[in-house]
């Protein structure tokens, strides 16, 4: 499900079962991440699938990338693997006006 930054943040902040997932490359993450994000690079192909499958499906995932395209794809993949709650950040980190921290 696509959410605007405002909705993504307000929903995340109210969610006691939330995980932030960054699906960018390691080099991109080195430029800064959203606080508390875990990184699983969508470009890892099968490795990405295996790491996603190892995640707790009972959690709610707030997913982002650089512009929102890869994270939208990641949400589709997660839903196909049985995740009920994967929320895509529209506009990605490029549109993010919140805090960015070093990984």
CATH number at residue 12: 3.40.250.10
pLDDT tens readout for residues 11-55: 999 999 999 999 999 999 999 999 999 999 999 999 999 999 999
Predicted local distance difference test score (pLDDT) of residue 7? 97
Which residues form the domain of 93? Answer: 2-101
Q: What is the dihedral of CA 45, 43, 58, 1, to 10 degrees?
A: -120
Predicted local distance difference test score (pLDDT) of residue 8? 97
Answer for the pair 51, 57: CB distance below 8 angstroms, yes or no. Answer: no
Predicted local distance difference test score (pLDDT) of residue 45? 95
The reply to whether 75 belongs to the active site is no
Predicted local distance difference test score (pLDDT) of residue 62? 98
Name the residue among 26, 12, 19 with its Cα closest to residue 52. 19
Distance from C-alpha of 32 to C-alpha of 102, rounded to nearest angstrom: 5
Predicted local distance difference test score (pLDDT) of residue 70? 98
Q: Global pTM?
A: 0.96
Please report which confidence band the pLDDT of residue 85 belongs to, taking 50, 70 and 90 as the band edges: very high
Catalytic hit among 20, 23, 65, 93? 65
pLDDT tens readout for residues 56-83: 999 999 999 999 999 999 999 999 999 9
Q: For the chain, how many structural domains are there in total? A: 1
């Amino acid at each position: 499900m696509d959410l605007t930054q405002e909705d993504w943040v307000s929903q995340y902040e109210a969610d006691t079962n939330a995980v932030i997932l960054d699906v960018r490359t390691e080099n991109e993450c080195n430029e800064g991440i959203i606080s508390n994000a875990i990184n699983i690079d969508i470009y890892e192909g099968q490795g990405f699938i295996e790491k996603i499958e190892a995640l707790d499906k009972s959690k709610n995932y707030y997913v982002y990338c650089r512009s929102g395209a890869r994270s939208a794809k990641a949400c589709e993949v997660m839903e196909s693997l049985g995740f009920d709650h994967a929320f895509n950040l529209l506009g990605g980190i490029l549109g993010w006006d919140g805090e960015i921290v070093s990984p």
